[in-house]
Structures are given as C-alpha cells and as structure tokens.
Structure 1
Amino acid sequence: MNGGPSGFNNAPVTRTFVIACALFTIIFGIQGRSSKLGLSYQDIFKKLQLWKPIVSVLAFSSTPEMMFGLYLLYYFRVFERQIGSNKYSVFVLFSVIVSLLFEVLALALLKDPTLNVLTSGPYGVIFSSFVPFYLDIPVSTRFRVFGLRFSDKSFIYLAGLQLLLSSWKRSILPGICGILAGSLYRLNVLHIRRLKLPDFIASFFLRFSWPSVGSTPPAAPSRNVLGNIPSYTARQVEASIFSANYPAPPMPSTIEPPEDSIATLVSMGFDRNSARQALMHARNDINAATNILLEAELH
C-alpha cells in the first residue's frame, strides 16, 4: 500500500499545507519560540490572542514532531486525490475548526494545570485523516515479525502513535479532538461532505505551491488543471455508466490502461476491475477515472 503516485502530484492543497507547516516550524524554531506556540484557554478568552490558534495549527513544537507530522500529512495526500482538492479543502478547514473548538472546550472543562498549554501542530488534520484511513484504506500486505502480525498499514499507525504520545497529555488531547472531528466529518454532520470550496481556491493552492518532485503537467490541454472536477465528457460518461441501474454497457478505450494507473486506484481502495473499467472510460486519465469511481460510490 502506498499513497499513490510519488510526490504531490494532484495534491496541491496538501503540498501547500506541508510547505507552510515546515516553514512556520523552522522560523519559530530559529527564533526559539516553538515552546510558546501551544494553545491555551487563557490565550483565547482572557488575553484575546486570536492569532494563536492559526499559528498553533501550522507550527510543530519540536523537530521530531515535525518529521512524523509532515510524513503523515504527505501520506494522507491520497484523500485529496480521492475527493478532489475542493472537497479536501473543506475537510481541512472543518478538521481544524472543529478540533480547535473541542480543544478549547476540553481545556475549560478539565481545568487540569498539566494541560495548561497544549502542544502545537496540525493535529486536527492529521488525526482526522486517521478516520478514513482506518475505514476506507484496505490492507494489501500482511506479514509477521517475531510472531507478531503486522500489515502495511501498521507503519502509519505507529507513526501516528508516536506523534500522539510525543508530549503525553499535551499531545494526546489534540489527537483525540482530531479523531472526533474526523468522525463528525465521516458522519456527514450538517451535510459537510457535500460542500466544496470554489474552484479558484484550489487553483490558488495550485499556483501558490512551487513544483515538487513527482508533479507532472496535465497530459492534454482539455484536462482540468485541478484534477478534481471531471470534464463535460467525463460527466457524460459517468451519467451513462454509473447510474443506479447501469443502463448501458461501457465503451472501452482502444488503449489498455497501464498497470501502474490501475495499481494507483487500487491503492486508494477501489476494486481492481472497477478501476480498470473507469480508466478505459476515462481514456486512461487517472484523475477523471478517480472522479468516475467516486461518483459511482455516491449512488
């Protein structure tokens, strides 16, 4: 199992978020202010430091936390490829806002002096992502080490556990709040999963982030730059193929889909045969094929 194609290809929001977190962590680390970025109840309600929540979300409090956190954010880019950059932007905003509200509420209710200041970092987004990771990403490999059973997902869980316990209570609480936020998103509270930000916002992320290793330009001029909205032709294919009753047989492409494209869709949790058919209908455009499969799951 992997996160799909290497690099930040088709994941501009993740790329921007990772770059921002790395820069903020390095800048505040050089200034020696990393330990002062954590969120506290007094900062919000007594000192009215409203900038604190924003900074506390973008900057990790230590280098080890940054390494594990950025690795997990990078891996979870697979979800942006699944739902598209517009909807993934909503997922990020929802996770950040809801987890912060839970954190402030927990600080007010617990009144624990050892939890006076929580650790900083995008814990809400990271641990919200563990909800779809647990429910939607299948296990592709199982193995044993010293008699213990592991899977290819075990390494992601271990990285998350390390991040969760990095600052003990100060990091456990933000992690739990992130899981709660991810669960609410999964339950589609207030129909949040139907929302998506306007196209120009995802386009901004695409222009804002400089090219990274593994990013490739669009294969054809007619292809959508954001990679998350099917073209008019693709929508027609979706309507004819993936309606509730599947009224018409598929029109296969003359070119057999590449094995690596099929493997990419399978790694996202789709059935191999469905992935192959979607690629054939999308003329081997992996972005359009992903949208076709996602639309099929909504019916």
Structure 2
Amino acid sequence: MFTSTGSRGLYKAPLSKGLLLVLNGLTVMLTLLPQYQELFVYNLQAVTQQHQVWRLLCGRLVCLDVKDSFCSSLLIYNFRVFERRFGTRKFASFLLGTWCLSALMDFLLAHAFQFLFDYEVEELPAGLLAPVFSLFVPFYRLIPRMPVTQVLGHIDITNKSLVYIVGLQLLTSGPFMWLLALSGLISGRLYHSNVLWLQKLLFVPAWVSCIGRYILEPVFSSSQPSSETPLGMGATLDIQRQQRMDILDQQLLLAQYNESTRNTRQQPQSGLLQWTRLFPSLRQRGQNRPPMQARPQVQPQPSTQSPLLDNSPVAEEQVALLVEMGFSRTDALEALRASNNDVNMATNFLLQH
C-alpha cells in the first residue's frame, strides 16, 4: 500500500515507533477517560486571552479524535523512511523545528482568517498534526514518483498516490484542519529550505540525542525482519528496484543453469565434459586438486548441451581470472557460458556448486 522503501516494519525507526505507541496510547486513554480531554483541547482563545500557554504543548501532541489519530499514524508509519535516511537525530530536529514554527503559523493564519472573513477561530484540532503535514514537503521533493498501474487507461497510480489519499482524508476530517495543514506545509517548506538558518536555531542537541540513544532507543528499537532477503538499501527507489531486479535476474539464470545440469546428468556423455566432474563441491575440489599443479587446457568440444551454455564465445581473460581464483579451467568455461560472460555471476555459480 505504501512506498516500498527499505525493510518493512519499524526497523531502524525508533522515534517513529515511539510516537506511534505513546501518542496512540494516550489517545486511547483519553477516549476511555473523557473527563480529562479538556486539558488537551487546542484552544487558541484560551492561550491568547487567558494566557494558558501550556495548551500549546498539551493541545498539539495528542489527538482527541480517533479518526485523526488513525490517519496521522498511517502517515507517520510511511514517513519513517526519512528517519532511516537522515538518522533519528535529524528526523527529530525536523519534527521539533516544524512543531515550533507551526505554533506561530497557527496564530498568524487564524488572525489572517479573522481579518479577511471576520470570523474568529477559537479551537483547532488537537494532536501532532501540523508536523505530520510538514513531512509532505520532503516526501514530495525527495521521494521519486514511480508509476504502478493505470485506472481507466489514463489515470496513473503511483507509489505515492495512496499516501496522498490518506493525507486528503486527514485534511477533510475537520472544519479547520486545512489551517493546520497549511501551517504545517509552510513550516516544512521553511525548515527544509533552511530559511534564516532555521536548522541551526531549532534542532535537537547532541546531549539529548545521546540520552535518547542509551535510554529510549533500547525500549523502542525493533529487530531486523527475518523474512526478508538481505538487501543493500539504495538511496532512491530506482536504485532499490534495480537491486531487486538484478537479484531476480541472477536467480533466473541460476535456475536455468541448474535445470540444464539436471538434464545433462540424465543423459551422461563420454569424454571430459561430464557434469558430475564439472562442478564438484568446494570441499571435493580442494581435496582432489594437488597444490600448485597446473591443469592441462581442454579444447572445447561439440556437445549436445543446452544452448544456454554455448551460445556465446568466452573471453580468455575472464577464464584466466576465474582460474586464478582457484577454479578449474573446465568449470570456468562452463560457468562463463551459463552466465553470458558475466564474471560476477559466474563466480556465484561456481561458489554455489
């Protein structure tokens, strides 16, 4: 459903996991204890007229609406890619900076709305909503757009479409949610562009990061998913997709290679080109070959093997390179034919047999 970047789950995203657990837990508690919800109402009039400054903290952290909490949690889970890419400290600095900037933007936009339409905005939706909307700025600018499918032959569905749909659902969940969304987008744009050196003014100090690393990170850290194939994380989705395609191509060639091996074993041939001798195990290869003894070069002979193995000439330099690695010349020739003269793939073939 969401952008496929890196591992699934919350691996290497302790801050995102902590926000999801703590904020959603508080939302559930306030739902069960409605008498305490008044303390977490984001009331602008109470802040300006009654000087209840503490509402800027309580009213801008915990969602009182379960629907808002659910949508914002989905977005935080998707935006965990930025914590993996930039690191926990930089990700926390972005959230802190946009949280502070959006507090100022909320009052400026509320007064501008009152000046233009003569309507006073008393309350805004509670929760960590403006910083969540601010994350759409790096999401739009840094995550590449990759088409997935088409609807009705003209409408493209990309890897980012459903994320925008969830954001649109959150935007339309309240009458003044648009004000928080606009405040978050402006704050995210200012902080991401480092206007007036905001990234040097609003950031998480190093000592706070160290405390969180030794105290909070062990609590909210997640183990690496065991069901996934280990894969280097590319900087962009294109690189990650190319990595997966390379692995699939390699597995396909290896499967074809194994199939040709099985077919040849079912029809044994005379001479030197017998598959039972071509690819012995590494242990047998090391035991049967005397040290520092050169093997006689074998001239290629016509065979009835699969066209996959002899459809292209083999470069002598590549054969010599594999022989220097410790493989026999016969094994190197057959592996290079199977891999279409790809030395890396031929090495993998030889190591896996």
TM exceeds 0.5?
yes
Give the equivalent residue in structure 2 for 1:21.
23
1:52 matched to 2:55: yes
Picking from 175, 179, 182, the partner of 2:181 is 175
Give the equivalent residue in structure 2 for 1:166.
173
CA distance in 2, matches of 1:157, 1:96: 21
- Structure with the greater relative contact order (CA < 8 A, sep ≥ 6): 1 or 2? 1
Paired AA for residue 267 in structure 1: L
CA distance in 1, matches of 2:69, 2:238: 25
After superposition, residues 207-286 of structure 1 pair within 5 angstroms as 207-208=215-216, 211=219, 214-216=222-224, 260-263=230-233, 265-267=235-237
Paired AA for residue 29 in structure 1: T
Query: For the Cα contact (< 8 Å) 1:137–1:268, is it kept in 2?
Result: no
Give the equivalent residue in structure 2 for 1:6.
8
Paired AA for residue 85 in structure 1: T
Distance 1:71 1:34, change over 3 A: farther
Paired AA for residue 173 in structure 2: S
Picking from 125, 133, 145, the partner of 1:139 is 145
Give the equivalent residue in structure 1 for 2:349.
none
Displacement of 1:213 in angstroms is 8.1
**What is the alpha-carbon root mean square deviation over aligned residues?**
3.0
Give the equivalent residue in structure 2 for 1:289.
none
Paired AA for residue 19 in structure 2: F
Question: If the length of structure 2 is used for normalisation, what is the TM-score?
Answer: 0.58
Displacement of 1:202 in angstroms is 2.7
Give the equivalent residue in structure 1 for 2:193.
187
SS in 1 for 2:149: strand
Runs of 4+ in 1 over 4 A off after TM superposition: 33-36, 209-214, 268-273
* Alignment deviations for residues 200-259 of structure 1 (CA, whole Å, 9 cap, x no partner): 423433432565684349xxxxxxxxxxxxxxxxxxxxxxxxxxxxxxxxxxxxxxxx97
Give the equivalent residue in structure 1 for 2:291.
none
Query: For the Cα contact (< 8 Å) 2:102–2:184, is it kept in 1?
Result: yes
The gaps in structure 1 that reach 5 residues or longer are 218-257, 277-299
CA distance in 2, matches of 1:259, 1:216: 11
Distance 1:12 1:203, change over 3 A: farther
SS in 2 for 1:26: helix
SS in 1 for 2:4: coil
Give the equivalent residue in structure 2 for 1:88.
91
SS in 2 for 1:143: strand
Paired AA for residue 223 in structure 2: S
Between the two proteins, what is the percent identity of the paired residues? 25
CA distance in 1, matches of 2:200, 2:9: 27
Give the equivalent residue in structure 1 for 2:161.
154
- Which structure has the larger Rg over C-alpha atoms? 2
* Alignment deviations for residues 37-88 of structure 1 (CA, whole Å, 9 cap, x no partner): 3423322121121221112222112111111101101111111112111211
Displacement of 1:34 in angstroms is 4.5
Paired AA for residue 140 in structure 1: M
Paired AA for residue 20 in structure 1: V
Distance 1:185 1:146, change over 3 A: same
CA distance in 2, matches of 1:123, 1:13: 16
* Alignment deviations for residues 78-137 of structure 1 (CA, whole Å, 9 cap, x no partner): 111121112112111111011111101222332364732111111121111000101110
- Of 78-87 and 16-25, deviating more is 16-25
CA distance in 2, matches of 1:98, 1:38: 19
Query: For the Cα contact (< 8 Å) 1:185–1:192, is it kept in 2?
Result: yes
Question: If the length of structure 1 is used for normalisation, what is the TM-score?
Answer: 0.68
Give the equivalent residue in structure 2 for 1:124.
130
Distance 1:55 1:87, change over 3 A: same
Distance 1:55 1:271, change over 3 A: same
SS in 2 for 1:150: strand
Query: For the Cα contact (< 8 Å) 2:102–2:130, is it kept in 1?
Result: yes
Number of corresponding residues: 233
Picking from 96, 99, 103, the partner of 2:102 is 99
CA distance in 1, matches of 2:238, 2:69: 25
SS in 2 for 1:57: coil
Paired AA for residue 54 in structure 1: L
CA distance in 2, matches of 1:201, 1:3: 28
The gaps in structure 2 that reach 5 residues or longer are 247-353
Displacement of 1:146 in angstroms is 3.1
Displacement of 1:173 in angstroms is 0.4
Give the equivalent residue in structure 2 for 1:40.
43
CA distance in 1, matches of 2:217, 2:238: 24
